[in-house]
Structure 1
Amino acid sequence: MTLGILATIEAKSGEEARVEAELTKVVAPSREDDGCLLYTLTRDSQQPSRFIMVEQWRDRAALDGHIATEHYKQMAQSLENAIEQMEVREYDVLT
């Protein structure tokens, strides 16, 4: 079954531009990862410090492969001190 991910990332005050830049950099290579069906970055129109990554993966193995990539690891490391909080929710994609 296809695995959906909604990752909500809250940038620290003053770090919004940095967070946006780092998240944007990971989109293109992530879309090339094996098993990636959808990978897009959005920003909350009412709260500009909140970013939402919308992802769909063929299966758990594809998501695990993505998390093991160098581009994902670099993004996570570069944002370590720029994020106030992050919530990652997993969903079964039905349609």
Structure 2
Amino acid sequence: MIAIEAKLEVQPAKREEFLAATKTLVAGSRAEAGNISYDLFQSTEDENVFMMIEKWEDQAAIEAHNTSAHFGQFVAFAQTALAKPLDVQSFQA
């Protein structure tokens, strides 16, 4: 299993649009083959900071996810909505 943590800091003016976009991303990602879980968490200290925690069966599932339409649409949107560069880390279980 591979776990991915992605920290996203959103521009305050884009927060509501970001939340709507993540609903589509999460729903589509959870339906993918090889997905174990895909969840968005909001910081308890800053309402504009989020952590996406994903768990995948293997690297092939991640690669398929990274080429999916819903992921590509979210990445394009995120480039306009994030206040800081995306911080992503992967972990092998």
Gaps of 5+ in 1: none
Please list, as runs of the form range in 1=range in 2, the aligned pairs for 1:25-36 lying within 5 A after superposition: 25-36=24-35
Bigger strand share: 1
> Does 2:17 align with 1:18?
yes
Query: CA RMSD, aligned part only?
Result: 1.0
> Does 2:69 align with 1:70?
yes
Q: TM-score, normalization: structure 2?
A: 0.92
Q: Quote the Cα distance in structure 1 between the aligned partners of 2:37 and 2:65.
A: 12
Q: Identity percentage over the alignment? A: 25
Residue of structure 2 equivalent to 1:91: 91
Aligned length: 92
Runs of 4+ in 1 over 2 A off after TM superposition: none
Residues 26-81 of structure 1 show CA distances to partners (whole Å, capped at 9, x for unaligned) of: 11110011100010111111111011111000011110100100010011112221
Shift of residue 5, structure 1, vs aligned partner: 0.4
8 A contact 1:24–1:41 mirrored in 2: no
- The one-letter code sitting in structure 2 at the alignment partner of 1:91 is F
Gaps of 5+ in 2: none
